[in-house]
Amino acid sequence: MKIYQVGGCVRDKLLGYPSKDRDWVVVGATPDILLKQGYTQVGRDFPVFLHPTTHEEYALARTERKTGRGYTGFSVYAAPDVTLEDDLRRRDLTINAMAEDGEGRLIDPYNGLADLRACILRHVSSAFVEDPVRILRLARFAARFGFIVADETLALMTEMVNKGEVDALVPERVWQEMVRALSERQPDLAIEVLRQCGALARIFPEIDRLFGVPQTAKSHPEIDTGQHVLLCLQQARLLTDDSQVLFAVLTHDLGKGTTPSSQWPHHSGHEERGVELIETLCHRLRVPNQYADLAVLVARYHTHCHRIAELSPETLLNTLQSLDAFRRPQRFEQFLLACEADSRGRSGFADQPYPQADQFRHAFEVVLKVEVAAILAEGFKGAEIREELQRRQAQALTKGFL
C-alpha cells in the first residue's frame, strides 16, 4: 500500500499558495485493509475514508466510466490493481493531475508542471467530456489563476456545449460554481471563458445577451454593455471579495439586453426590465434571497446613486427607504460598493473618485438625526407620526445636504 498527496494541494504548493485541504490517494489497498487500520468509510458512491487521527480524506485509487448523461452517470472501479497514473488520468486538468509521494518527490505523468509554469489550463484526457461540471470548474480556475485555456481544451468544451452536456447541469451546482468564481481574483475571466465556449448562452443567457449591445453614447461608446459589465466586475473585485456585491454588479445592467437603447436615458425602462430578468435568473438557479435582493436593488437604484446631486429631497428619502437602509445599513454599504464599481467600470474611469457614495452616506446620516421621540413629545399620533417624520427628514435633507 502506498499513499500520495494529490490534486490541488500539490498544485498550490508548487505555486506557493496556501492550501486549506489536503487530498490523499491510496494505491494497492482495499476497504478492508483501511478499515482494519482504523479508517472510517464515508459515503457509498466513492471509496473514501477518514484518517483515524487527522480525519483527512483518503480515497482509494479509482477509475471512472461514463454510464449516462450529465455528471451523475458514472460507474466507479476501485481495486488494488488501479495505478496512481490511472487515478490521475481521470482528473480534469493537468495542473490538478500531479501527486507527491512520502519523500516529497513529484509524480507528474501528464506534464502538469509544464502547464503550470506556462499558465495554461489543459485537459488531461478525452474523459474531460464526461463531466460538464468541469467547464464551470475550468472557468473558476481561470478566474483564480489568470491562466489561459489551451486551444484543444476550448475546442473540447465547445463540443460539449454543442452536444447539450451543460443542459444537464442542475441549478444548485451551476450556482455553487458561479458564486465561487465571483470571489476569485479575476471573476471577469470566468465569464469570458464561459462565453468563448458557448456555455454562457446556455447557462446565463441574460448575461450573454449583453455582448454586442451598445452602451450609452455619452458614457463610453467604445465598448458594449457586456464588456462594460466585465470591467465593472474587475473594479468590484478590487473593492471587495463579497460575492453578493459581485453578483449584483454582474447583473446590474441585464435590462439593456432586451430594452431599446432609446429608452435608456429615461432611467426606467431597462432598469425595471432588468429587475424582471434578475428575478427570473435567480428563480431558475435557486439563488439565495440575500443575493437576489441586493441584485434587484442595485439594478433598480444604481442610477439614483450616480445622479444623487439631481435628486429632490423627497426622491432621495424614498430611495433610502426603498433600500431599507435604516434597518439594513450593511446592505446599504454593499449597494454603494456596487454603484462605485459600476461607475469605475468604464474606460478611463478606473481611477476616478466616486464622491456620490460619500454623499449618499452623508444624506443617510442627516436623516438618522431626525428623532421620532421629539415628534411623539409634540403629540403626533397614529399615521401622523410617519407623515411628520418624513416631512422633517426631507426638510433636514434640504437644510443639511442639498
Q: What pLDDT is recorded for position 365?
A: 93
Q: Where are the domains of the chain?
A: 1-118
Residue 273 vs residues 34, 43, 251, 289: alpha-carbon distances, Å: 58, 45, 12, 19
Give me the DSSP letters along 65-101.
EE-SSTTS-EEEEE-TT--HHHHHHTSSBGGGS-EE-
Q: What pLDDT is recorded for position 239?
A: 96
Residue 363 vs residues 333, 387, 399: alpha-carbon distances, Å: 13, 19, 11
Q: Per-residue pLDDT tens, the chain, 402 aa: give them.
A: 899 999 899 999 999 988 777 889 999 888 889 999 999 998 666 789 999 999 998 988 888 665 555 555 556 777 787 889 988 998 999 999 999 998 999 999 999 999 999 999 999 999 899 899 999 999 999 999 999 999 999 999 999 999 999 998 999 999 999 999 999 999 999 999 999 999 999 999 999 999 998 876 455 556 789 999 999 999 999 999 999 999 999 999 999 988 655 555 545 567 889 999 999 999 999 999 999 999 999 999 999 999 999 999 999 999 999 999 999 999 999 999 999 999 999 877 888 899 999 999 999 999 988 888 888 888 888 888 888 888 888 989 988 665
Q: What pLDDT is recorded for position 69?
A: 53
Instruction: Give dist(CA 109, CA 99) in Å, integer.
Output: 9
With 0.85 as the threshold, say if the pTM is over it: yes
Q: What pLDDT is recorded for position 330?
A: 96
Q: Which amino acid is at 254?
A: L
**Residue 123: DSSP 8-state:** B
Q: What pLDDT is recorded for position 270?
A: 76
Q: What pLDDT is recorded for position 271?
A: 84
The CATH class for the domain spanning 1-118 reads alpha beta
Q: What pLDDT is recorded for position 217?
A: 45
143 contacts 186 by C-beta, under 8 angstroms: yes
Instruction: Give dist(CA 158, CA 163) in Å, integer.
Output: 9
